[in-house]
């Protein structure tokens, strides 16, 4: 069994999920829709929410306790991983208590103080601080780090467009968790995916091009299909020296 299938993180109970989603009861992460009040320029204190799916943590999560926004380098020797520059931002929110039971009817507010972890492979499909049949990078810490959300619920990262490895589609892992001081602990883990056409364009250039054609696409990736990966697809736009994207997520953390 591929270790990417191992479950982790907090998920809602069946009763909680049914209360949020009516008869479906399968999705446990909430994200702000592109048409939300925030995207329209209104006050970011409340706006509609829509559901997003949780996904497996996989075998390569390590709590390195690396508080940094730019995760491209290895702290041991300051080497920087090559790849297309990617500015990744999270807008993290919490469901406002006392709102309607319908997921679409709920309102969200920015979640300050949440810890957002990000980790992914390099352009060659290699993770840091991991042992795998094809690599051993124990002690390395490239492409890992966390940020704490500000008063607007925002956490920002500078990284590279991830590479690929044979068993998976192109993806980025993230985890949202409570600080140690939180009265009510919460943790949520999922994965972010990329448009196939964009990936093809990025991979046509160095340092990705020499690896040849990737073997797994979004639609042939079991986790993407089984977990609802189309709902965690990043909307990536061209930016100075690379690309940029923002992902809105909100949690019902009790």
Domain boundaries, given as residue ranges, for the chain: 3-251
Q: What is the pLDDT of residue 15?
A: 39
C-alpha distances in angstroms, 185 versus 53, 90, 150, 247? 20, 20, 18, 22
Lowest mean pLDDT among 62-76, 103-117, 152-166, 232-246: 103-117
Whole-model pTM: value is: 0.82
Bigger pLDDT: 188 or 22?
Answer: 188
Strands of 187-193's sheet in order across: 144-148, 115-119, 171-177, 187-193
Q: What is the pLDDT of residue 94?
A: 86
For residue 90, which phi and psi values (nearest 5 degrees)? -115, 135
Residue 151 to residue 135: CA distance in whole angstroms: 40
Quick one: which of 82, 81, 106 has its CA closest to 93? 106
Q: What is the pLDDT of residue 43?
A: 41
Q: What is the pLDDT of residue 254?
A: 62
With tokens 């044979």, the residue in question is: 166
With tokens 């993230």, the residue in question is: 174
Spatial CB neighbours of 179, under 8 Å, sequence gap ≥ 6: 113, 114, 115, 148
Q: Is 218 left (phi over 0), alpha (psi -120 to 50) or beta?
A: alpha
| Largest CA-CA distance found in the chain, in angstroms, rounded | 54
Alpha helices in 153-253 (DSSP H): 196-203, 222-227
Q: What is the pLDDT of residue 18?
A: 34
Domain spanning 3-251 has what CATH number? 2.60.130.10
178 and 185 Cβ atoms separated by less than 8 Å: yes
Bigger pLDDT: 18 or 121?
Answer: 121
Q: What is the pLDDT of residue 102?
A: 42
- Please report which confidence band the pLDDT of residue 28 belongs to, taking 50, 70 and 90 as the band edges: very low
Residue 40 to residue 27: CA distance in whole angstroms: 26
Tell how strand 242-251 and strand 237-239 pair up.
Answer: antiparallel
For the cut 60, the answer to whether the pLDDT of residue 91 exceeds it is yes
Residue 178, CA atoms < 13 Å, CB-side half-sphere: 15
pLDDT winner (highest mean) among 30-34, 42-46, 56-60: 56-60
- Average pLDDT of the chain is 82
Tell how strand 47-48 and strand 29-31 pair up.
Answer: unpaired
Burial bucket for residue 13 (CB in 10 Å: 0-12, 13-18, 19+): exposed
Q: What is the pLDDT of residue 169?
A: 98
Q: What is the pLDDT of residue 16?
A: 39
165 and 211 Cβ atoms separated by less than 8 Å: no
Q: What is the pLDDT of residue 50?
A: 54
Burial bucket for residue 11 (CB in 10 Å: 0-12, 13-18, 19+): middle
Q: What is the pLDDT of residue 251?
A: 87
- How far does the chain reach from its first CA to its final CA, in angstroms? 33
Q: Rounded mean pLDDT of 11-25?
A: 35
Spatial CB neighbours of 194, under 8 Å, sequence gap ≥ 6: 161, 170, 171, 233, 234, 236
For the cut 70, the answer to whether the pLDDT of residue 92 exceeds it is yes
């Amino acid at each position: 069994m591929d270790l990417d299938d191992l479950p982790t993180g907090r998920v809602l109970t069946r009763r909680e999920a049914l209360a949020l989603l009516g008869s479906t009861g399968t999705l446990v992460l909430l994200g702000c829709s592109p048409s939300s009040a925030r995207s329209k320029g209104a006050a970011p204190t409340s706006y509609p929410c829509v559901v997003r799916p949780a996904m497996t943590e996989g075998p390569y999560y390590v709590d390195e306790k690396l508080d940094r926004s730019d995760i491209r380098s290895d702290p041991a020797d300051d080497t920087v991983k090559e790849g297309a520059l990617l500015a990744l931002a999270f807008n993290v929110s919490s469901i406002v208590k006392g709102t309607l039971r319908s997921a679409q009817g709920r309102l969200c507010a920015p979640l300050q103080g949440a810890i957002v972890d990000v980790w992914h492979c390099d352009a060659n499909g290699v993770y840091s601080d991991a042992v795998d049949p094809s690599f051993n990078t124990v002690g390395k810490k490239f492409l890992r780090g966390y940020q704490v959300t500000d008063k607007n619920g925002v956490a920002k990262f500078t990284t590279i467009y991830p590479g690929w490895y044979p068993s998976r589609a192109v993806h980025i892992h993230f985890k949202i968790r409570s600080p140690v001081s939180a009265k009510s602990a919460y943790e949520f883990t999922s994965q972010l995916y990329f448009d196939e056409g964009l990936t093809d364009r990025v991979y046509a250039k160095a340092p990705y091009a020499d690896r040849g054609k990737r073997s797994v696409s979004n639609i042939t990736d079991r986790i993407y299909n089984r977990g609802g990966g189309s709902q965690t697809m990043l909307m990536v736009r061209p930016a100075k020296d690379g690309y940029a994207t923002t992902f809105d997520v909100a949690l019902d953390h009790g």
